[in-house]
Chain A
Amino acid sequence: MTPSSSPTAEGVLPGHDDAGGHAGHHDHPSYLVDGTTVKSWLLTIDHKRIGLMFLASVLFFFLVGGVFALAVRVELLTPGPTIMDAMTYNRAFTLHGLIMIFLFMIPAIPAAFGNFMLPLMLGAKDVAFPRLNLASFYIYVTGAVLMVWGMLNGGLDTGWTFYTPYSTHTTTTVAPVLFGAFVIGFSSIATGLNFIVTVHTMRAPGITWFKLPLFVWAIYATSCIQVLATPVIGLLTLLVVGENLFSFGLFDPARGGDPVLFQHLFWFYSHPAVYIMVLPAFGVMSEVVAAFSRKNIFGYRAVAYSSLGIAFVGFFAWGHHMFVSGQSTFDAGVFGVLTMLVGVFTAIKVFNWVGTVYKGAVDFRTPFAYFCGFLFFTVFGGMTGIAVGTVSLDMPWHDTYFVVAHFHFIMVGATLMAFLAAFHYWFPKMFGRMYHEGWGLVSAALIILGFNATFIPQFLLGNYGMPRRYYEYPERFQALNVASTAGASLLAFGFVIVAIYLTYALFYGRVAGKNPWRSKGYEWLSESPPPTHNFVGPQPTFPEEPHYYVAPKKDEVNDV
């Protein structure tokens, strides 16, 4: 790949000291070509290269998890056995859940795009601890290898929730997978810590807290959750491994333990983990909606604070996964109210995003198409979240396909839309090339349609009473299952198109130029793709807000 270093007609952006000078470019090659050996990539401490390596890894695991999702959907085409036996099915959905959550959703946006964009958005040369950053990648790879090895040799069938006492009694191999999750946790903690320190200490002059791009706010809030919650699941996985190998008896009632204790500890991490997945998505969308409607964010502070609000309240809502677990009615009430608060914070964001478009100048490009899908999935996923947080309604819905559809809408729908929007929005920044807009829009439409066709039937299936994790099901559920599988095929087809035109664009795409979207986000002040140390020349300063599209002062040239 030969990325562009030929500045076409870039102008000077406000506050950017470097004139985009032609002379400097040969001394400052883009990060993609600054060292081309395998070693220069594997031992890099450049946050952009590490971000790319994370991106490649999460895309790989998205593919693996997706293949298993399709296998599960095909199996559910008929009420009885279709293409696999019960044990294979149980392993398949476990594998799908584990890979998608631990190896795709959680690292996807923070570790890939966060790594790449955060220092650029702060006007920094790199993250605060570049070596820790590289270590975090290798820790992730180690954990992933352990996990996948465990899943293929022994075949875990507990579901991604590992509920005891099943997980301590099953004959399948639980220990290596749990240990893998433990290891991956360190990667998550290291990345989060690194980002927190970076945001605190590496902001360029002029970037005050309230001039931070909202993506940075979201990543910051996410990092706080990662640092605070991940240790809990780390220790929990160790305890279950101990229970499994050495019969501790902490969670096994036959030895005086309490299986509900496991659920408390598990959801204390895994509920905030939902926000580790969606908060970065919210951040991406704040950037995208501002860039493509050329508008400052409506209620910037409300959006920024609501990220922190979600991160905070998210810690106190875990018990809504346990309304029918035998916890007391009082507990259910407390967790029910706290769940409502998360919904309110999300509602603030939704309203402010729509408000951002008001009096804007909308350019309906691929990332904006994903914004539309995102808006829909967030509103529906969020509202159904409030619905299942309503204690009496949760009683019939708990552990049925309604919940499956709900969390796919909010976790996958919203996050995936944001992931794809981020990919398309920052593709020119990362690779210096443009993709085909027409294909982008077509595939976005296909993916959004396919996603709805997959999961709307699942909401209805849940209403109808079909429990999750069923290999076989009563015949009355079949029509909706067929509809869902058909939707999944459409969804998969959409992804294939994306993979094809993005791969093509990587090598043959039109050279993008510095700022093809004419965005005012700080990251676009750098070259596309950026040089190794992000900014050429002296440290840039950022006098304006990140999304300031008001008429330029007279001496500014404001265009590509």
Chain B
Amino acid sequence: MSDIANKILFLPERASTFAERVDVLHYFVVGTTMVMSAGVGLAALFFFFRFRRRVPNQTTEYVVPDLKTEFLFVSVPLVFFLVWFAIGFRDFTWVTTPPKDAMDVYVMGKQWMWKFAYPEGPNGVNVLHVPANRPVRLLITSRDVLHSFYVPAFRIKMDALPGRYTQVWFEATKPGTYQVLCTEYCGLSHSKMLAEVVVLAPEDFEEWLKEQQRGRLQGRQDALADTSLVPPVARMAEQGEKLAGTQGCLKCHTVDGAPHVGPTFLGMYDRQEKLADGQTIRVDEAYITQSMMDPGAHLVAGYQNVMPTYQGKLQGPETAAIVEYIKTLRTANVREVSSEGPAYDPIQ
């Protein structure tokens, strides 16, 4: 049934849980639109015929609608539109709120290619491998201009902005290869900025991950014996740790829970943080990135606005690596006591 509808509407393959939600609303909206338009159109056609001019000088009755009619004109569309909105907003909230256990992948748009990086290992260009039936969160940024990451089969799309991370998630439902397109005009070869998502069965994905960790020589039997010959695939968190040192982050941020010039990195990720302006904010990728690029934007309560911006000093992948490093510094005890604020006293 829905396959026929998809053929008529030219909808692409439906390969994610979000696609199933969106398509249902899509049918509903298209259906009501068609019925509505047919109603208005047929009424108009009937009137054209029924009330055609019979003599050149014909006069007409003076017709004024009563309040009830006008009320009907307003309320019927309003109710329909609000129902669409309510369903649409529920689904939109769902797709912009990744589940906690989602697998992270960093996506970086660049004129004119997509780069993908996994916190635990491999990275690649223009091919994204993901397991089926597992939520995958994409943390999307750009190195130059705006791009937009679009997978028609998953019905998801999110802009890639330089200097900050946006996120969207999906759960692919069947293995296969799906096209990724860029939908934000980004210059000369905008239309060539194509990539693909390869969805693998979970066990195939594990296998693929292992192969990636064995490195490029995995196809060569003789080399398999001595994996030390193969340089280990760089782990983002390790890179991040190095960068935190070389970029000077650790001069002001400790990793042992002690407050210093800035808040400690320990247990920082995923914490509710009280801000200087009284609001609270959840420390996520977006907030950490923003704090690197524009430190004063949301200042944690109790700290001075003294951090310099790292805008232009850190590349997209470097930012992501530091974020991943901070994410590794989650400790159970800090998280338990710190749902309302820092686990330490602020500097007076």
Contacts and interface: CB of A to CB of B under 8 A. Distances in A.
Contacts of A383: 33, 36-37
B29 A387 contact: yes
B329 to A, nearest CB: 26
A469 B57 contact: no
B85 interface: yes
Contacts of A465: 12, 150, 152-153, 179, 181
Contacts of B37: 376, 379-380, 383
A253 interface: yes
A398 B81 CA distance: 19
Contacts of B52: 361-364
Contacts of A337: 82, 85
Interface string B12-54: 1000000001100110011001001100110110011001111
Given A259-B161, A392-B21, A359 B61 contact: yes
Given A86-B189, A390-B85, A470-B191, A550 B62 contact: yes
B124 interface: no
B73 A352 contact: yes
Given A165-B146, A295-B60, A347-B73, A254 B159 contact: no
B246 interface: no
A284 B318 CA distance: 58
Interface string B90-129: 1111011100000000000000000000000000000000
Contact of B190 (A254, A298, A391, A471): A471
A375 B148 CA distance: 34
Contact of B78 (A253, A293, A340, A393): A340
B63 interface: yes
Contacts of A363: 52-53
B22 A393 contact: yes
Summarize B's interface: helix, strand, loop or mixed.
mixed
B218 interface: no
A253 B162 contact: yes
Interface in B125-155: 144-146, 148, 150, 152-153, 155
B224 interface: no
B59 A400 contact: no
Given A166-B185, A337-B85, A329 B92 contact: yes
Contacts of A336: 85, 88-89
Contacts of B146: 163, 165-166, 259
Given A86-B188, A294-B53, A344-B74, A324 B33 contact: no
Given A166-B186, A348-B74, A471 B191 contact: yes
Contacts, number: 283
Interface in A254-269: 254-256, 259-260
B245 interface: no
B70 A302 contact: yes
B228 interface: no
Contacts of A69: none
A55 B185 CA distance: 33
A298 B89 CA distance: 35
A210 B200 CA distance: 67
B191 A159 contact: no
A300 B161 CA distance: 47
A33 interface: no
Nearest to B8: A460
Nearest to B155: A396
B274 interface: no
A395 B70 contact: no
A396 B311 contact: no
A326 B92 contact: no
Given A364-B52, A392-B91, A386 B84 contact: yes
A261 B62 CA distance: 51
Nearest to A360: B51
B64 interface: yes
Q: How large is the interface on A (under 10, 10 to 19, 20 to 34, 35 or more residues)?
A: 35 or more
Contacts of A552: 59
Contacts of B164: 253, 326
A375 B30 CA distance: 18
Contacts of A351: 40, 73
Contacts of B240: none
Interface stretch (A13-21, A118-126, A446-454, A472-480): A472-480
A329 B189 contact: no
Nearest to B147: A166
B159 A325 contact: yes
A461 B10 contact: yes
Interface in B148-184: 148, 150, 152-153, 155-159, 161-164, 166, 179, 181-184
Nearest to A545: B62
B168 to A, nearest CB: 8
A296 B179 contact: no
A6 interface: no
A348 B73 contact: yes
Contact of A90 (B58, B69, B90, B188): B188
Nearest to A170: B187
Contacts of B81: 340, 343-344, 386
A120 B21 CA distance: 54
B305 interface: no
Q: Closest 5 A-B residue pairs measured CB to CB?
A: A465-B152, A253-B163, A392-B91, A390-B88, A470-B191
Interface of A: 86-87, 90, 157-159, 161, 163, 165-166, 169-170, 253-256, 259-260, 293-296, 298-300, 302, 323-326, 329, 332-333, 336-337, 340, 343-344, 347-348, 350-352, 354-355, 357-364, 372, 375-376, 379-380, 383-384, 386-387, 389-396, 398-400, 460-461, 463-465, 467-474, 480, 518, 548-552, 558-559
